[in-house]
Amino acid sequence: MSPLTTIAVRAARAAGDFLLRTGERLHELRVEMKGPNDFVSEADREAERRIVEIIHRAYPDHAILGEEGGAQGEVGSHGARWIIDPLDGTTNYLHDLPWYSVSIALEIKGRLEVGVVYDPVRNELFVAERGKGARLDDRRLRVSQHTKLAGAVIGTGFPFKSQRHLDAYTESFKAVSLAGCAIRRAGSAALDLAYVAAGRFDGFWELGLQPWDIAAGVLLIQEAGGVVTDIRGGDQLMKTGNVVGGNLRVHQALMDAVKPHLGPDLPA
């Protein structure tokens, strides 16, 4: 691993280990509501603080975009920006549901170079480096070879933070379901995308996500031989948060199922 990747892995493990320990006293955590069905706890904030501390100890001039801390620092001539979600799946975590993750990505001059998704419950570490492939621990990852929606397992998430997407999403959900696949809504988009890279899910789509939800997972899928785009097949997914991913054929099949149900005012 490169020094940058080593730092990302160290930070992800430190945050994940902290979350596991803190999960033993969930009843003591202070929890705030940021919006409808959108929670933040002191565990989220402390996990992010630990990630930032590790990154800035090694790279003090790097910028950071974090879910809980917002933007920190400016992207200088090095062009480096870390995109982090210290706890993707907060609602699951607060209910002691074992499906959450830590997501850390590094973007240099607008291009994703490192992506790490860590599942502390299963102690599974998904790592991608641009041009070097994606791995789960020591195993090389490849997206699934499934060729159609019928019989596929597809991950998704309801756009509970973006109610304006709800009608488009429910219609697309119906279309994908009628195509004969099994749909799974687990509650951590970062982990869902990692599962696409690992071939556990054949594909994934969701609307209204944030950069920290998807950055690491996007690179994982790309480096595992898959395709991930915005909902209309373009490259605006980091701006719009509307994402479709999978191997080449499943990605196209998902696009074909979903696109007819998107209104003209829905961004890509």
**Structural domain boundaries of the chain?**
3-140, 153-261
Q: How many CB atoms lie within 10 A of CB 6?
A: 12
> Is 213 annotated to bind ligand?
yes
Q: Can you tell me whether residue 193 is helix, strand or coil?
A: helix
Report yes or no: 45 and 74 within 8 Å, Cβ to Cβ: no
* 202-223 pLDDT per residue, tens: 999 999 899 999 999 999 999 9
* 136 has pLDDT over 70: yes
Architecture in CATH of 3-140: 2-Layer Sandwich (3.30)
Does 85 show up as a binding residue in the annotation? Answer: yes
Instruction: Give the lowest-confidence range in 24-28, 44-48, 64-68, 264-268.
Output: 264-268
Confidence of residue 259 (pLDDT cuts 50, 70, 90): confident
67 assigned binding-site residue: yes
Question: What confidence score (pLDDT) does residue 135 get?
Answer: 98
88 annotated among ligand-binding-site residues: yes
Please state whether the predicted TM-score (pTM) of the whole model is above 0.85: yes
242-263 average pLDDT score? 92
Q: Which residue has the tokens 């599974």?
A: 124
Query: Phi and psi for 203 in degrees, rounded to 5?
Result: -165, 175
Instruction: Please report the pLDDT score of residue 198 as a whole number.
Output: 98
Provide the angle, in degrees to the nearest 10, between the axes of the packed helices 248-258 and 166-178. Answer: 120
Q: The CATH number of 153-261 is which of 3.40.50.300, 3.40.50.920, 3.40.50.720, 3.40.190.80?
A: 3.40.190.80
Beta strands in the chain (DSSP E): 31-35, 38-41, 63-66, 70-72, 80-88, 101-108, 111-119, 124-129, 133-136, 139-140, 153-157, 182-184, 203-206, 227-230, 243-246
- Asked if pLDDT for residue 32 goes beyond 80, the answer is no
